[in-house]
């Protein structure tokens, strides 16, 4: 009798563990879905918002409403491009700022790319080449003795974004829409 009770307790624990694992797994995948949907075509107001002219709505109760942003529908596009994705690099960019052949400070940038969803896989596979392109641009800007002198200056900030975007569009001609500088910091040495 003692062995039977132990076996029943073990089976019950295994069943409870399996059921709990199933709920945790489905709960996590359901929680991840809305984040992917939000970045795939919604905009934060203005052109492309849910009540804009490029939207598709279903009238039945509980049905999903989708709004296509700039990437699909309207204005002569065929809608095949999809939405917008934000490509996040695996590491920050660390740029040495030099004066008189001496490193005076390091500028740390967290850069993301706003791109068409159609090239998201291409960006992932080309990350080393894209990082190299961005680093080359940032080092070039650090050597001009102006851009990284005052990183809080809006003109310097916009120069960094514009130059990085221009050089990236030479390497990846279509699909990259914007360069987003998420974080920027300077460490004096």
Distance (Å, whole) CA 177 – CA 41 = 13
Q: What is the mean pLDDT of residues 141-154?
A: 83
Q: What is the mean pLDDT of residues 155-162?
A: 91
Residue with the two structure tokens 């039977």: 4
pLDDT of residue 24: 62
pLDDT of residue 50: 44
Each residue of 21-30: pLDDT tens digit?
Answer: 666 655 544 4
- Note the pTM of the prediction, 2 decimals: 0.56
- What residue spans in the chain does CATH classification 3.30.479 cover? 84-188
Each residue of 76-118: pLDDT tens digit?
Answer: 344 445 789 999 999 999 999 888 888 888 999 999 999 998 9
Distance (Å, whole) CA 119 – CA 82 = 10
Q: Is the pLDDT of residue 36 over 80?
A: no
Each residue of 61-72: pLDDT tens digit?
Answer: 443 333 334 444
Q: Is the pLDDT of residue 3 over 90?
A: no
CATH number for domain 84-188, candidates 3.30.43, 3.40.50, 3.30.479, 1.10.3470: 3.30.479
pLDDT of residue 179: 94
pLDDT of residue 57: 41
Beta-bridge mates of residue 94: 108
**Is 56:67 a contact under the CB 8 Å cutoff?**
yes
Provide the CB-side half-sphere exposure for 21 (13 A, CA). Answer: 6
Beta-bridge mates of residue 56: 66
Q: What is the mean pLDDT of residues 132-149?
A: 88
pLDDT of residue 31: 41
pLDDT of residue 9: 75
């Amino acid at each position: 009798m003692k062995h039977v009770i132990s076996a029943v307790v073990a089976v019950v624990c295994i069943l409870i563990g399996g059921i709990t694992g199933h709920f945790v797994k489905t709960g996590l995948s359901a929680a991840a879905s809305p984040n992917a949907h939000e970045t795939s075509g919604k905009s934060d107001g203005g052109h492309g918002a849910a009540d804009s002219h490029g939207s598709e709505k279903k009238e039945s109760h509980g049905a999903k409403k989708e709004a296509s942003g700039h990437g699909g529908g309207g204005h002569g596009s065929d809608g095949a491009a999809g939405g917008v994705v934000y490509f996040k690099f695996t590491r920050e960019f660390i740029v040495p700022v030099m004066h008189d052949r001496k490193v005076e400070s390091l500028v740390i940038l967290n850069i993301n790319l706003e791109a068409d969803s159609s090239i998201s896989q291409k960006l992932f596979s080309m990350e080393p080449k894209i990082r190299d392109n961005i680093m080359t641009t940032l080092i070039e800007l650090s050597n001009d003795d102006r851009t990284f002198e005052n990183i809080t200056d809006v003109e310097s900030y916009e120069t960094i974004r514009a130059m990085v975007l221009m050089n990236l569009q030479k390497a990846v001609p279509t699909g990259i829409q914007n360069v987003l500088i998420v974080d920027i910091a300077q460490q004096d040495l």
